[in-house]
């Protein structure tokens, strides 16, 4: 029998379609945000990905964290973080869109960053499964998921489940080379 935190993972998926996700978990939120800023800077300045081809998809209170901690780090290298929801998206060359899963339904982006994945839980401790599913299925080329260790038991289950899934996807298959 599956628990409320495991049934959302019981989906059929193709292992050859879509990107394998990257997952990083930190002990402190400021370390997570710094890592996201470094990753975004690398994607933009080294890999040559336009900010308009990147979307940050967040849940709930993570918007305040992005505004107060991530936006100033991005501004240091000329990228504006624009939190937009419940509207049609405005995009400018140096603008990186941040929005909610609900607002991004039906859209895709080359690169999707999911910050604060541990916050994809409702106040009563239930997983925000539909929102997380939408966020995780919007990337065409790169999906990077970030979160912190700790928090509520529900948050720990979210990060633990994602870590286990990513580890499984990245594990080398065992190949039997015997003649039998």
Partnered with residue 95 across adjacent β-strands are 80
Residues 6+ apart with CB under 8 A from 63: 83, 98, 100
Q: Is 151 left (phi over 0), alpha (psi -120 to 50) or beta?
A: left
Residues of the chain predicted below pLDDT 50? 1-5, 7-16
The tally of CA atoms less than 13 A away on the side-chain side of residue 167 is 8
Domains of the chain: residue spans and CATH: 49-169 (3.40.50.300)
* Inter-residue contact 101 to 159 (CB < 8 Å): no
CA angle in degrees (0–180, nearest 5) for 167-171-176: 155
pTM, rounded to two decimals:
0.85
pLDDT score at 17? 59
149's tokens = 């260790």
Whole-number Å distance between alpha carbons of 10 and 83: 32
pLDDT digits (tens, 9 = 90+) for 62-95: 999 999 999 999 999 999 999 998 777 778 889 9
């Amino acid at each position: 029998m599956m628990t409320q935190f495991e049934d959302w993972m019981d989906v059929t998926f193709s292992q050859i379609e879509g990107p394998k996700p990257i997952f990083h978990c930190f002990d402190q939120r400021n370390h997570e945000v710094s890592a996201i800023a470094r990753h975004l800077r690398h994607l933009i300045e080294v890999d040559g990905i336009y900010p308009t081809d990147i979307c940050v998809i967040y849940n709930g209170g993570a918007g305040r964290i992005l505004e107060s901690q991530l936006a100033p780090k991005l501004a240091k290298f000329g990228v504006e973080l624009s939190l937009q929801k419940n509207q049609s998206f405005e995009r400018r060359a140096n603008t990186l869109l941040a929005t909610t899963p609900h607002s991004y339904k039906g859209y895709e982006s080359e690169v999707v960053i999911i910050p604060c994945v541990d916050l994809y839980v409702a106040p009563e401790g239930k997983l925000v499964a539909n929102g997380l599913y939408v966020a995780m299925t919007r990337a065409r080329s790169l999906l990077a998921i970030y979160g912190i260790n700790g928090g509520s038991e529900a948050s720990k289950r979210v990060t633990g489940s994602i870590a286990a899934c990513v580890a499984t996807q990245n594990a080398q298959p065992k190949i039997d080379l015997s003649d039998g």
